[in-house]
Amino acid sequence: MPQQSYPEKVDISNCEKEPIHIIGKSQAHGVIVACNKENLQITQIGRNTDEFFGIPYNDLLSKNLSALIGEKAANELGKEIRSGKQLEAREFKINEVEFIAIPHISGESLIVDFEPAMSDLNPFKYQRELSNILNTLGASESPEELCFDVARITRNIFGYDRVMVYKFDEEWNGEVIAEEKTDQLESWLGLHYPASDIPRQSRELFMKHRVRIIGDVNYSPVPLEPELSPINNDPLDLSRSELRGVSPIHIEYLQNMKVGASLTAALISNGKLWGLLACHHYSSKIIDYYHRQTCEFLTQIFSNELTLKETNLYIKKLEEWGKIRDELVTQIESESKIKKGLTDKKVIFTDLMDCEGGALMLNNKLRLVGETPNKEQVKALIRNYLSGKSEAVYFTKNLSKFYSPAEEFTDTASGILSIKLGRSNNDFLIWFRPEAIQKVNWGGNPENKAGYDEEKQRITPRKSFKKWTQNLTGVSDAWLDYQISAAGAIRESLGSIILEKQKLKIDNLNKQLMRAHEELELFSQGLSHDLKAPLRGIDGYAHILKEDHYNELEKSGKKAVDTILSSTKEMGELIDNILSFAGVSGQSLDKQIFSVNHLLEDIMETFNIRVNYSGTTVKVESELPRMMGDKRMIAQVWSNLIVNALKYTEREDEPKVEIGCMAKDNKSVYFVKDNGIGFDPKFKEEIFDLFSRFSGSNFKGTGIGLAIVKKIIEKHNGRIWAESEPGKGSTFYFYV
């Protein structure tokens, strides 16, 4: 795809997108020569060659670069390009005039910027300048002092009328934080400039080409000939050219400020554009290449010193803060309640930050400390704003900009820094900062970025740079890097403590639950036991009535005595069953290996099954595998299952019960199968619940038998399940 070319019309409305790196023009204090990097044939050239070299540009186009710099130098340069080495600046005489040629590679082209040599480089003076830079900047004690030192030293070396250190904020607005100037100029120290004054693409270019001069703001731009590169038909990328022409908007901006020349150098900290060293002169001024190199060296030293000083400050703050954090963590660990550890002890969580108040929301309980919005406002802030944020650490100095209800409480919470506690989206620790009365002095009203110029028929940059004071509302002091790191670190510490505490809480709950369970069993055992004595009394007297006075009673009296006797029998069974159900969990297992066939034989005899159920065919598989478990308990499993099978087949024409075993997944699975009434398979889990009965009132029972069976099987780490269909019989399977 062909590259976009420089647009016909550029004004402030599209300057964010202005492709200034392909502007296609050079400044007037030198000549841009572009060659094919393969053969050094000149492909594009500034139209001002005649003025500098005494040769019309048409005579040079398509020639080899050797026509300008001689064959030997051209050969050497070709060799250097092929070796991929960094290309250094070099000097040439062209038609008796000394030039500095600064070569670099741009895509397919070799671009050489020719500038007239201005002075002989005096090695002594140069060395003095460099060591002066090193000594002065190395001795600055704080980042602030460093900025003033760099401004002073820059002005001393290069002699600009005004030198400023311009620092970007997080939104790329700039502030003049240090300044050196001639006395008669008005000071711009402390003035702010909106981000649009140095648009994004200019900032990106500063990262590629760090020192840039505009020799004469009122220069006439020199077009390149031809406009597009014959190699690929693209505009030439001049990002790294020393002589790249200047954006017309920027020129107008400088003209509006009455500036005649400028030097701008990137100030970088931790790999990011931190600010600019901006130098203004009120007439034209050119700094030669070597001095620009000195300036680059200076900014590098500045960047290193700045990073070092900021890092030292950061470490110092981290240490101070680390002590508070350790104390907090110890407090929380030694307290059973996290809330208490964070808010009620010697050190509280708000001590971690410069803030006026804080909030702790944990398990739906809110605790406020210091100056804060009210409880409802904080709860709404969490519910409607913070809980929707994906970030674990969130901060802003201007909450109301993003969350409009915060306009109500800018006096306590213009700024917030919050951390999510654990994985919950409802638990937060929040620090609040009130509105800082901020007067921002702008270099001109930032709202008036531009005005419409009738004559030029386009929007032009603002003309007034008069100090314009804005009162910022709803904005707190900014949260600093180390404070944000501190919040992140306390979040991690709290996270593990919360987990630990939650585990402890669950363990305790478990213990309580087990205790409650045991108590309940003891209670039901006791209750059932106590019920038996009066029941025995009722049963005894009912028997006396029946045996000694039955004949004296009328029909209804006889019926009443019979009902009392049958009811006490039923109740006796129910109590026995409850007692044995409750008894299962309390008993320990007395495990042994025993013969299942023998056991079944005993059961048949105990219940006198052959007599009581003489109509039922009971088939027991011979040589069933032996079992290991508590024989007494397992006997209860078998008898309950067999009694059920007999009970629920009783009314069939040919009742059949089959007992056997099959192998499944390496286990011996025993089964009791019958051809009785069966049950709806949807109850196949519920039939094992206590007191659940699905056979209607035709069959007597308590609904406890299968619950006992299941409990015993589970105590043996086994499993029991049933298959059935109404009217088609049931099979109960189990293994232990």
Q: Which residues bind ligand ADP (CB under 6 A)?
A: 644-645, 648, 674, 676-679, 687, 692-695, 701-707, 730
Q: Toward ligand ADP, which CB reaches closer, 492 or 689? A: 689
Please report the sign of the dihedral spanned by the C-alpha atoms of residue 708, residue 710, residue 714, residue 720: positive
Q: Toward ligand ADP, which CB reaches closer, 247 or 649? A: 649
* The total number of residues written for the chain in this structure: 736
Asked if 102 and 115 count as a contact pair (C-beta separation under 8 A), the reply is yes
Q: Toward ligand ADP, which CB reaches closer, 149 or 674? A: 674
**Least distance (Å) from ligand ADP to the CB of residue 583?**
16
**Least distance (Å) from ligand ADP to the CB of residue 569?**
14
**Least distance (Å) from ligand ADP to the CB of residue 555?**
32
Q: Toward ligand ADP, which CB reaches closer, 629 or 705? A: 705
Collect contacts of 147-155 with beta carbons under 8 A, ≥24 apart: 147/177, 147/178, 148/178, 148/180, 150/178, 150/277, 150/298, 150/299, 150/302, 151/178, 151/179, 151/180, 151/277, 152/180, 153/298, 154/180, 154/277, 154/279, 154/295, 154/298, 155/180, 155/181, 155/279
Alpha-carbon distances, residue 136 vs 125, 127, 143, 162, 312 (angstroms): 16, 14, 13, 20, 19
**Least distance (Å) from ligand ADP to the CB of residue 524?**
17
Q: Toward ligand ADP, which CB reaches closer, 133 or 669? A: 669
Q: Which residue is nearest to ligand ADP (CB)?
A: 701
Q: What is the helix (H) or strand (E) element at residue 611, kind and residue range?
A: helix 609-612
Asked if 598 and 638 count as a contact pair (C-beta separation under 8 A), the reply is no
**Least distance (Å) from ligand ADP to the CB of residue 667?**
22
- Angle ∠(264,268,272) on CA atoms, nearest 5: 120
Q: Toward ligand ADP, which CB reaches closer, 314 or 721? A: 721
Q: Toward ligand ADP, which CB reaches closer, 495 or 703? A: 703
Among the listed residues 307, 368, 337, 326, the one whose alpha carbon sits nearest the alpha carbon of residue 137: 307
**Least distance (Å) from ligand ADP to the CB of residue 661?**
18
Q: What is the per-residue burial (b if ≥16 Cβ within 10 Å, else e) of 18-56? A: bbbbbbbbbbbbbbbbbbbbeebebbbbbbbbeebbebe
Q: Toward ligand ADP, which CB reaches closer, 385 or 721? A: 721
**Least distance (Å) from ligand ADP to the CB of residue 693?**
3
Rounded CA-CA distance 645/660 in Å is 14
**Least distance (Å) from ligand ADP to the CB of residue 674?**
5
Q: Toward ligand ADP, which CB reaches closer, 393 or 687? A: 687
**Least distance (Å) from ligand ADP to the CB of residue 680?**
9
Among the listed residues 634, 652, 625, the one whose alpha carbon sits nearest the alpha carbon of residue 730: 652
Asked if 685 and 725 count as a contact pair (C-beta separation under 8 A), the reply is no
3-state secondary structure 72-133: HHHHHHHHHHHHCCCCCCEEEEECCEEEEEEEEEECCEEEEEEEECCCCCCHHHHHHHHHHH
DSSP helix/strand/coil, 198: coil
Q: Toward ligand ADP, which CB reaches closer, 287 or 707? A: 707
**Least distance (Å) from ligand ADP to the CB of residue 640?**
6
Contacts of 220 (CB under 8 A, 6+ apart): 28
Q: Toward ligand ADP, which CB reaches closer, 211 or 704? A: 704
Q: Toward ligand ADP, which CB reaches closer, 159 or 681? A: 681
Among the listed residues 680, 689, 679, the one whose alpha carbon sits nearest the alpha carbon of residue 647: 679
**Least distance (Å) from ligand ADP to the CB of residue 606?**
18
Asked if 220 and 41 count as a contact pair (C-beta separation under 8 A), the reply is no
**Least distance (Å) from ligand ADP to the CB of residue 651?**
11
